[in-house]
Amino acid sequence: MRSTLVLNFCRIASMNSDPETKNHEAESVGLREDFPVPTYDDWKKAAEALLKGASFEKKLQSRTYEGIELRPIYNPEDTEGLPHLGEMPGFGHFSRGYRANGYRATPWQVSQELPCSTPEEFNRVALSELERGVSELNILVDLATQTGRDPDDARIGEVGSCGVSLATLADVEKAFKGINLPMISIYLRTGSSAVPVTALLLAYARKRGIDYGAIRGCIEIDPLGTLAWKGDLPVSLDLSYRDMAALTRFAEERAPDLQTIAVQGHSYHDGGATAVQELACVIATGAAYVREMLKRGVSIETIGTRMRFSLSIGSNFFMEVAKLRAVRVLWSQVIESFGGSEKAGRMHLHSRTSLLNKTLHDPFVNLLRSTTEAFSAVVGGTDGMHIGPYDESLRVPDSFSRRIARNTHLILGEECNLSQVTDPAGGSWYVEWLTDQVARKAWFEFQEIERGGGMAEALKAGRPQEMIAKTAARRLESVARRRDVIVGTNMYANPGEEAMDQTLPDFTAIQRTRSREVENYRTSGWTETHASVMSKLNVLLESEPSHALDAAVEAVLGGATIGEISRTITVGDGDHPSAPRIRTHRLSEGYERLRDLCASSKQDTGHAPLIFQANIGPSRAYRLRADWTTGFFQTGGFEVRADVDFEKPEEAVEAAASSGARIVVITSTDDRYAEVIPTLVPALKRTIDRAIVMVAGSPGDHEEEWGRIGVDDYVNIKVNNQGMLEDLLSKLGVLS
């Protein structure tokens, strides 16, 4: 037998090596006749046969939030005529990435966000992360620094919140102590304080003798992204664009490896936007920045090579791969329309895993979500990435969660060998078709924004916000009805879960300490230092925009704080823009509120709100229904008592009454319902004060009859799960 298999294998191999022999042998053994190539129609007929009369379209086709109709199978015909299809990596419109060799020579940046509150804490964590695989310092500054305020001029909750508090040159020295700045890339997230924060960094470089040309990475300034996220800006758009132009010219002349124009899509994604809506907003923002920079005399070639885009990566694997491939195509077309070269159209693309789908309950599931999201980002060709630690939604990530997130990068690159293949999704009929669909729809939405006056006008009018809010409402409705599954939250909840510690930093203490440090910094050597600072701030006040950054650096070296610099450069500034804020949220928040209410009730009463499941008859006949029903209520944090099966209805009534539960769910087979409900329901209503009696399943033709005898509701797959649980908690007085 073994020798026969070897002989056949060798024969087939020889056929494959010689075309003439292959054809001759194929004819002689009748391969074409015996193994005909099935057509799409053949496959569809076979699939329909397996459906046994069910609708092919309803069962095997689906529609995405982007309005894209997905089929179960794709063929070469689906990719015919796609404009990007014949391109190779590093060429054309860069659907396959802008590097011909992918990650082989340049791996994606391991760019983990470091949300540390104080310079000392940041330094400790940064040194640890750099020693263990991080290749780009992703530096979040706190809310006070983002708005250009010193700690003693900010509100409690702003200092040390969302990032590190930086106000002085001494702070930067503490933050970067022991870090070899020229050896790493930095991603400095400055909010609305790009010039003051950059001045701190450059002053540190000057003091340490570091050439500006050795600084690489990105100084993030994204005023429209900030406007969408926060709903207002502390400076005018004109000043923001002036700062952006000044930083871009500085980088062009003196820091060639530094990006200075950033476009973020995170607020749109985390607000619930579709991939198409996210790309449309991002591309429209980028186009707005190009126009503003051109107005200020910056060339399109300089603009294109100084931009960094940052997108969130969601859980729909193929959609996210297509999104990253499509956005490069779109941006290259935008740059092309402005007269830019192919080089200027090469998009630098940073990614971060989604916050929209992360949960507070069962948080270890977040680890799995982030892994699949990171996988799709790499397959899609990201240039750098933050993989969210599993606990980032509920607290400042600890060392363990940071380590797992960081090592996910390393496993994808070094164990999965994704860095060895350039554009692994390229050529997939489905992915190529989906890339084209996303690109076309996003381009249409982008043009709609352009026709309305551009992204700034669109945000002020609230058009993107309204569009995204409608999508978010659809998503939340699908989550509430469990059409969209959030594992561990609206499906497969863990009733015995121990709550994870959610302790946040003591922001009051942090502000007190940081305020004292800045005050001491100002008053040390008071007379001489004060005179020097005032002199240098006057120089800054009188500087031309093109020299403002150098003057700000001199002021920092002279002892000025970030607040003093910010106040100086905003003297005479115009109106500060405002817009309806995009509400960023997590899809699990509604269920988490229910779980928290039930947990509070348990603390008060000794148990969570009770549901008694009256299982009638042997459970093997309705086990799936019983388990499904138990899980239905556990998603909201109810305590379900369902461990006993009752043969006689009167036994179920007695047990239900002694359980202390007001809510009783009758669970059995449809046949048994017709037998027991007419007597069981009235008995429950008589025995239990203000009883709420429900039936697991659908009433069919009995709804009116059963309603008359006291059935309050039905638990089945068509019910809005979250809505029903909220209603029950209201009836119990737990939810006001």
DSSP-derived secondary structure for 632-701? HHHTTT-EEE---EESSHHHHHHHHHHHT-SEEEEE--HHHHHHHHHHHHHHHHHHSTT-EEEEES--GG
Q: How far apart are CA 599 and CA 502, in angstroms?
A: 15
Which residue, chain included where needed, has tokens 């992703």? 138
Phi-psi region of 571 (alpha: psi -120 to 50; beta: other; left: phi over 0): beta
Report the candidate in 191, 585, 466 with the shortest Cα–Cα distance to residue 458.
466
Q: How far apart are CA 729 and CA 35, in angstroms?
A: 62
Report the candidate in 110, 137, 113, 127 with the shortest Cα–Cα distance to residue 174.
127
Q: How far apart are CA 216 and CA 489, in angstroms?
A: 42
Report the candidate in 339, 365, 638 with the shortest Cα–Cα distance to residue 495.
638
Could you give the 3-state DSSP secondary structure of residue 487?
Answer: strand
Q: What is the pLDDT of residue 557?
A: 93
Q: What are the residue ranges in the chain where pLDDT is below 50?
A: 1-17, 19, 21-22, 26, 527
Tell me the domain boundaries of the chain: 2-61, 109-480, 589-732
Q: Are 209 and 560 in contact (CB under 8 A)?
A: no
Which residues contact residue 23 at a Cβ distance below 8 angstroms, ignoring those fewer than 6 apart? Answer: none
Q: How far apart are CA 141 and CA 111, in angstroms?
A: 15
Could you give the 3-state DSSP secondary structure of residue 154?
Answer: coil
Is 589-732 a domain of CATH 3.40.50.280? yes
Strands of 449-598, DSSP E: none
Is 109-480 a domain of CATH 2.40.10.220? no
> Could you tell me the two tokens for 333?
């077309």
Structure pTM?
Answer: 0.91
Q: Which DSSP letter does residue 184 get?
A: S
DSSP-derived secondary structure for 385-421? EEPPPTTTTTSS--HHHHHHHHHHHHIIIIIS-GGGS
Could you give the 3-state DSSP secondary structure of residue 478?
Answer: helix
Q: What is the pLDDT of residue 214?
A: 97
Q: Are 468 and 268 in contact (CB under 8 A)?
A: yes
Q: Which DSSP letter does residue 79 get?
A: G
Q: How far apart are CA 412 and CA 404, in angstroms?
A: 12
Contacts by 699-705 with C-beta closer than 8 Å and gap 24+? Answer: 700/670, 702/673, 702/674, 702/677
> Could you tell me the two tokens for 671?
């046949």
Q: Angle 32-36-37 (CA atoms, 0-180°, nearest 5)?
A: 120
